[in-house]
Structure 1
Amino acid sequence: MKLKKIITTVSGVVLSFTLACQTLAKENMVLVVSTLNNPFFVTLKDGAVKKANELGYDLVVLDSQNNPAKELANVEDTIVKNAKVILINPTDSEAVGNAVLAANKAGIPVITLDRASIKGKVISHIASDNIAGGKMAGDFIFEKLGATAKVIQLQGIVGTSASRERGEGFIKSQQQNNFTLLTAQPADFDRAKGMNVMQNLLSAYPSVEAVFAENDEMALGAVRAIKTAGREDILVVGFDGTDDGIKSVEKGKLAATVAQQPEKIGAIGIEVADKVLKGEKVDEKIPVELKLITK
């Protein structure tokens, strides 16, 4: 009877120790997202949360609300709370450098998702090949309209690696295929801004035949502006492959979208963070496959 009691006590201690370790592990991972007001990043977050649950982590998710100051405050807060690894989807590739440097100073490994950081040490960057995707969009427009095509480019948030790289790939296609780029204007990856900017550009450039928007949100805004103006002959190509973007392609409103896999980006981020916590080696850059979705 005493032996049983001792075994029970020992088992209780072991069990308590195990539970304590699990609780500590659950507090180790933090995901700082640029904004949860964008379906793409919501899907990225969902993929990360799902994978974290599978691996036994209770992922803490913080929304930077597209504000670099809020982003820095979020990272500083996680540092104070002794996070062991921080995953960041940057609001801005340059501004996020201050947050990365703060984490570096605290000795906390940083993993970036979708958008890179220009400054600081990042242990791994997980993203689609945005340059290839931008070129894919331009090549599709050329394939449909030829070298005589007159195109408008809607840019994302200035300073983000995603906008810069997608634009770089698109310009490569434009130079290679020699179609005309009428203008490139930022609309901050936002649907309402995409619509407003497109409304103004339709007046300024009535000869436009196609639009490349650097994300689906701007593309959908452009589609709305085009419909309101009665110019539904204009071909619109988006980027991201969000649920709304794909539905628009299926309905024949968007001509195409370059589909990323945000859920996979989030999931891979957690897998990499798990390896980091276990002391395993990880790749500095991990590409996620793209594909062009048409009707």
Structure 2
Amino acid sequence: MKFSKKILAMGLVTLITLGSFVGCSKINKDKKIGMVVSTLNNPFFVSMKNGAEEKAKQLGYELIVLDSQDDPAKERANVEDLIQLGVVALLINPTDSDAVVKSIEVANKKSVPVITLDRQANGGEITSHISSDNIKGGAMAGEFVLEQLSGEGKINVVELQGIPGASATRDRGAGFHSILDGKENIKFISSQAADFDRQKGLQVTENIIQGNSDIQVVFAHNDEMALGAAKAIKTSNINAIVIGFDGNADAIEAVEKGEMKATVAQQPDLIGELGVGLAEKIYNGETVEKEIAADLKIISR
């Protein structure tokens, strides 16, 4: 078999890292788990990777993690490379719920079990899906808005959406709207995509403010966009609350400083940990649940 130098190097680094872990189980080179992450340029997914790595060390598996850099074409290439390396299971955090289908079908053809993490796939054969309940989390954000601004009159809301087509974008927005839609004093003045990116969150919010600065609430589908929005709100001296989603370290710090009002906190490390645990169960021939939910909570100041 022929592998790219990059993939062989990454696999070697992973093996060296795992082998140096004090007190871990002996790594079995025949027990490889592949993990494809949409992007490692996001603290949430870095935490997910870290949780998976810790669990793999405990169980004695070699975990090979590849970064898709939010590119569906790279995602598919990553999956193909991992299949060639002989992984016993594939953990995948999709770049896009539709685009990932082709990548999953590659694994299906080789009978490699697929576990999706955080974002769902809109096709292909999935053994199990692990995520927070994004609809419930969006609803929690909507309820938080009503609790915080119950005595206010008109409430103008800005919604920063994630990557179009991603299940997290769809579900978090659906949960948020399920609480606020139809309320007489609630008006959505803008719902725009900022692709789960901090810089885009800043730019989109700045553009919205230029058109209408009468904003009371910004809800972002993840913390990275919320942090960008918080910067734009602060610069413009607007008295608006900013709510994020994920509970990453930067967002929690921003909440503590009063720069953000709240974040709907996930446990990405737990999602990664559960993924590796499921992969082992599948490898051992055990039955696993089709859907597994990780708990959520509101962190606020």
Q: Does the 8 Å CA contact 2:35/2:66 hold for their aligned counterparts? A: yes
5+ residue gaps, structure 1 = 1-18
Residue-pair matches, total = 274
| Shift of residue 38, structure 1, vs aligned partner | 0.3
1:196-207 correspondence runs (5 A): 196-207=203-214
Aligned twin of 1:66: 70
Structure 2 residue 191 is the aligned partner of structure 1 residue 187? no
Q: C-alpha separation between the residues in 2 aligned to 1:204 and 1:271?
A: 49
Cα RMSD for the two superposed structures: 1.4
Instruction: Give per-residue Cα distances to partners, 1:79-110, cap 9 Å, x unaligned.
Output: 22222210000000110000011111111100
Task: Quote the Cα distance in structure 2 between the aligned partners of 1:293 and 1:59.
Answer: 32
**Deviation for aligned residue 1:32:** 0.4
After the TM superposition, list the runs of 4 or more consecutive aligned residues in structure 1 that deviate by more than 6 angstroms. Answer: none
> Any residues of structure 2 matched to 1:2-13 within 5 Å, and which?
none
Structure with greater Cα Rg: 1
Q: Measured at CA, do residues 267 and 206 of structure 1 come closer, stay the same or move farther in structure 2, by a change above 3 Å?
A: same
Q: Is the Cα contact below 8 Å between 1:34 and 1:64 reproduced in 2? A: yes
**How many angstroms apart in 1 are the aligned matches of 2:112 and 2:147?**
47
Matched, 1:140 2:144: yes
- Which AA in structure 1 matches 2:69? Q
Separation in 1, partners of 2:179, 2:256: 25
Q: Which amino acid aligns with 2:42?
A: N
Identity of aligned residues (%): 50
Q: Give secondary structure in 2 for the equivalent of 1:131.
A: helix
> Relative to structure 2, which stretch is displaced further, 138-147 or 160-169?
138-147
2:245 match: 239
Paired amino acid for 1:184: S
Equivalent positions of 1:24-35 (< 5 A) are: 24-25=30-31, 28-35=32-39
Q: Residue in 1 aligned with 2:275? A: 269
Which of these residues, 191, 206, 209, is aligned with residue 216 of structure 2?
209
Aligned partner of 1:78 among 67, 79, 82: 82
Q: Structure 2 CA distance, aligned partners of 1:101 and 1:132?
A: 30
1:79-94 correspondence runs (5 A)? 79-94=83-98
State which drifts further: 199-208 or 238-247: 199-208
Give me the whole-angstrom Cα distance separating, in 2, the residues matched to 1:88 and 1:55. 19
Are 2:170 and 1:164 aligned? yes
Letter in 2 for 1:110: V
Give the number of the structure whose residues are more often helix, by fraction.
Answer: 1
Deviation at 1:21, TM superposition (A): 8.7
Structure 2 residue runs without a partner (length 5+): 1-24
Deviation larger for 146-155 or 37-46 = 146-155
- The answer to whether the 8 A contact 1:259-1:291 is kept is yes
Paired residue secondary structure (2:121): coil
TM-score normalised by the chain length of structure 1: 0.90
Of 229, 234, 254, 1:227 maps to 234
- Provide the residue aligned with 2:296 in structure 1: 290
What's the TM-score, normalizing by structure 2? 0.89
Q: From 120, 125, 146, give the equivalent of 2:124.
A: 120
Task: Give the corresponding residue for 1:258.
Answer: 264
Partner Cα distance (2:65, 2:27) in 1: 21
How big is the shift at 1:20?
11
CA distance in 2, matches of 1:269, 1:88: 9
